[in-house]
Chains A and B, each alone.
Chain A
Amino acid sequence: MKNYDLVIHPGDAPSQPRRVELIGCLDSHTVVGFEKSLHALLDEGVRGLVIDLQQLTYISSAGISALMGLTHRLRQNDGELILLKPTEKVNRVFRTLGFTNIFKIVENESEADSSITR
């Protein structure tokens, strides 16, 4: 398993939701590149993001804060950030701290699609 990788799947148009896979650890070291890449997508006009967390092995407060910042920015523009199927370890952190009520978390891709196009 890589320490960090981000796979951004191509989209047909900026208005289409984009899917990205977040792999490895999102901590104070890796969050800089993550934020830069995703805010660049939002700068292009993307208003819907699905972040696949199935291979995310660790998230720190810096990572949570980055997700919060993206959520905030997207919602300000009537967009949405969807977190797809976080690993049990990451989901436990969200649950313990109360972020399951703040982030939109879904368990499968069809639910992600319907949440973002709603």
Chain B
Amino acid sequence: MMMPRRRTRSGGMPEQRPEQAPQRTPERTSERTSERTSEPAPERTRAGRAARGSFEYLDDRLPAAEGGSLLRKAFPDHWSFLLGELALYSLILLLLTGTFLTFFFHPGENEIRYDGSYLPLKGVLVTEAYASTLDISFDVRGGLLIRQIHHWAALVFVTAIGVHMLRVFFTGAFRKPREVNWVVGVTLFVLSVAEGFCGYSLPDDLLSGTGLRVVQSMLLSIPVAGTYLSFFLFGGEYPGEEIIPRLYVTHILLIPGLLVALVVLHLILVVYLKHTHWGGPGRTEKNAVGQPMVPQFAAKSAGLSMMVFGILTVLGGIVQINPVWNYGPYRTDQVSTGAQPDWYVGFLEGALRIMPPFETQLWGHTFMWNILIPTVILPGLLFLGLYLYPFLEKWVTGDSAEHHVCDRPRERPVRTALGVGGITFYAVLLLAGGNDIIAYGFGVSLNGLTWLFRVLLVLGPVAAFMVTKRLCLALRAHDLERVHEGEETGEVHQTVEGGLGEPRRPLSQRERYTLLMRQAPRPLEPARGNGTEDDEGDSGGDGRGRRVAARREQLRVTLSRWYYQDRID
């Protein structure tokens, strides 16, 4: 299959191996003129000779010369392309701080009497996991700082992945040839949420234990297999003594291993496929225009990494997060008010809170739809939708060309509107997860809020879709007005007749090119002939197969028309 054919355009150094010269040791050639061989001129300074010697030493053992072409690799330059790096650097900080924490955390569920320096809990029966977390917070030098950096970095990690995913979605960077990278990325998202859940459940405090109970009820709600799954996960009745060590292994080995491997794959794919770039003069689907890796991109990246590390450290140092000593150890019969999970799980919490109490009794068993739908089916459908979106869009639009130029979101109104509708859905669920806090803070009825969120969940995304689509079309119309009539200057003058006028300045050539360079695609045409006319069925099955295929094609054309019919030219 064809590899993507894009030339990097950053003045790349042609890849070359240094010739295998007959003399391996560099000679002192300061007195001689350069030889007329195919070899490059011998270095005249000691530093030059040392550099050449060390490079040859490495290249004899490692693929150093192959790495040379990477040095000038073009990285398209835009702030929105750095969002993934925020996630990458948060992950690095998580690995570093997490390693420190593993030196002091003991994932045991055997109960001991707490005997550290936090006096209000002195003598209280707590699990070893909880006690070691308190030790890290109060008795290990720098422990609380590292713990808080770790937790803040986790929140920023999931946030950065989400924002990066949205950028990729709205610019259409998931299209061919990047569908596999999109699948890898969504998997990273799912893993990061799971990793965060495991992480904050490790201290075995009251708040995270409440979340653990929610997970157990989520498992129990699964029909037929639920009880077995719950007993399998917890090693018996809830809460048992197995869950914390199992979460620990998952949190420090299984998921981080997968995360690192998938991140490496993700980055390799970005390097191999080359990053997308925004449209403009000189940028086509066949090239990648950007800054070379060394020194510009590497410097920018290094600077960003320092900023991320710095800001996360400051956050970890001055903003308290997850004060488990305030919550107390986990007791299965207790729960405190204002209990919410970490923000990235909040949408599931909200779904659970606003779900109406549907359950059915069948054959002596209760099917708890009010748990199953919000916590199992809803996230399943959401992530399935995310995974499948590139393929769905490809089917609907019939677009199988390679795409390397980013779409401006306004150029794809339906896709952008679908994305905003999805975000609205997520936001309503997230707010619903904090319905008790909102009711308390604003003094409104909790039941009223629940009903409000139920209504908003259904109507909000639809309204958001319609408004966003119209906004995109309006923005595109405004762009075209600017192209055809020029930019308003704002310098108002009064005419001789007494009217007011404002001259318009034509756009620059580059801006006009960027705005006009792409046409909105056309919807799919229906196939020639109607759908269901061939029914001289050889066999009934064959005719039915043709009818089903025709129906599918009809659906495809209808959806394609819905996608692309509104256009401003």
- Please indicate whether A and B come from the same complex rather than being unrelated chains: no
